[in-house]
Chains A and B, each alone.
Chain A
């Protein structure tokens, strides 16, 4: 079945540092999504990507849809304490409705 490999599994950084995480798949996806989840809450959509090569920003967050359509990455610049949480990538095949999620990247920030 379709699987997404997300790395790193966890990150421990200092406040103000930049963060980079990525997601790879053996399958092609037509849509890539990045979500953030805080403890006890549902995933919150950060960025949606629809075209290979697309680079999209949302404030300090930037995400790219890989050219091969089998990968995506998310960058966070100048991290702040509220960036703490678990980041999930999700892929979606054109015409299919289900999202396939990665295992998540847990971000911890030392003030």
Chain B
């Protein structure tokens, strides 16, 4: 079990630029989640996938955000035309399918800083 892997760990970009983050879930975990965490707060849910299907999106996920999981393995989160308010830690988590709520295991996140 290699854990959830996220790349890059840090991203610094100018306002207005596009950024893309990648998440590799734990092997054989069918469910993949994206959360956003700002300083001093707990993570907030953005979206989740079951295999390649995106099944839920939060109202936090504006039109500038798009997430994909094309082959049901890794996922990407893209932010277009970044704004100052997008500065945050973006966390990915994964869990297996199961009869009851399976606990989600998190990666170490991508910290995004908008200049």
Q: B1-25, CB under 8 A of A: which get 1 and which 0?
A: 0001010000000000000000000
Is the CB of A75 closer than 8 A to any CB of chain B?
no
Closest chain-A Cβ to B56's Cβ sits at a distance in Å of: 6
In the bound complex, do residue B33 and residue A103 qualify as a contact, i.e. CB atoms below 8 Å apart? no
A33 to B111, CA, bound (A): 24
Bound complex: CA A7 to CA B40 (Å): 14
Within 8 A of A (CB), among B25-79: 31, 33, 35, 40-45, 48, 55-56, 58
Q: Is B112 an interface residue (CB 8 A)?
A: no
Interface: A81 (CB within 8 A): no
Closest chain A residue to B59, Cβ basis: A1
B contacts with A, residue count (CB < 8 A): 27
Residue pairs across A and B with CB atoms within 8 Å: the count is: 63
Pick from A33, A98, A104: contact of B56, CB under 8 Å: A98
Query: Which of A40, A41, A97, A103 lies in contact with B41, CB distance below 8 A?
Result: A103
Taking a contact as CB atoms under 8 Å apart, the answer to whether B48 and A97 are in contact is yes
**Could you show 22 A-B contacts with beta carbons less than 8 Å apart?**
A4-B42, A6-B42, A30-B101, A31-B100, A33-B103, A35-B106, A42-B4, A42-B106, A42-B109, A43-B91, A45-B106, A88-B42, A98-B33, A98-B48, A98-B56, A99-B33, A99-B45, A101-B42, A101-B43, A103-B42, A104-B40, A104-B42
- A-B residue pairs, 9 tightest by C-beta: A101-B42, A42-B106, A98-B45, A31-B101, A48-B103, A42-B108, A43-B106, A41-B108, A97-B48
